[in-house]
Amino acid sequence: MVNDTPQVMTIAGTDSSGGAGMTADLNTFSAQGVYGANVVVSVTAQNTLGVQQVQMITPEMIMAQLKAIADDLKIIAFKTGMLGNSDTVKIVAEAIKQFDFGEFILDPVMIAKGGAQLLSEEAVESVRMNLMPLATLITPNIPEAEVISGITIRTAKDIQLAAKKMKDMGTKNVLLKGGHGDNPIVQDYVLLANGTHFWLKTTRCQTERTHGTGDTISAAVTAKLAMGLDLKSAIIESKAYVDATIRDGIEVGHKYGPLNHLAKVATENLPEILDEI
């Protein structure tokens, strides 16, 4: 009997300690019940203390990986993570136009949890020009949204303005994550293509073990879209999942530890959905 498992893909960098990057993506894909392919664009030497070294893969090898997947697998949703430089961004954009990989979740990874810069300034503009118009959903955190939109974010209104500006840049839908900072309440903002918008409100879990949260939520949305959920439901369920991976934590490493991708979502961890805050 054929088991028609949904097939998804991550285009990202490695994390030698296993907490973020494509390892987090693949762990999330498996936890959601989909099959994950992976295209390596960079290799990092890193751990929970920080990123020590980065080696980029050539554009030719990146395209070869993407073509190999396109020739054989049936990818119906995919995501990008750390892309590093403008050459990588451009070759990935070229492949997206050439091959049909389905829904595209753009996680604009710019800075590692430990502070290392993971996307060059030139590449930020390339993301704006080459990837955002192709994306189904972009999932920046607040510092990333500030860089992309050019808006300094201090208030809820600033968040809404930044999301609208990113949508105006061509991305159909925006999930602007509010996890940065130490506010006991975390509020994520969602702006959809049809103009619908809402906030997801959760209680912060006080822990440093949050390495890979951005990778995980974007990978979860990718998986849930592949499983047939509509985007709004996929975002809400993915938010609940990433909260569970933090709350039901594991102890690995000495600082910004990884998430527990085997965590189960509890009813009390579902985000509260608000029209306004």
Answer yes or no: are the C-beta atoms of 163 and 191 closer than 8 Å. yes
For 257-277, write each residue's pLDDT tens digit. 999 999 999 877 789 999 888
Those residues of the chain that have pLDDT short of 50 are 1
Distance CA 228, CA 249 (A): 29
Topology classification of domain 7-274 = UDP-N-acetylmuramoyl-L-alanine:D-glutamate ligase (3.40.1190)
Domain extent listing, the chain: 7-274
For 98-143, write each residue's pLDDT tens digit. 999 999 999 998 876 666 677 778 888 999 999 999 999 999 999 9
Quote the pLDDT of residue 179: 84
Quote the pLDDT of residue 1: 44
* 3-class state of residue 265 by DSSP: coil
* 3-class state of residue 271 by DSSP: coil
Query: pTM of whole model > 0.85?
Result: yes
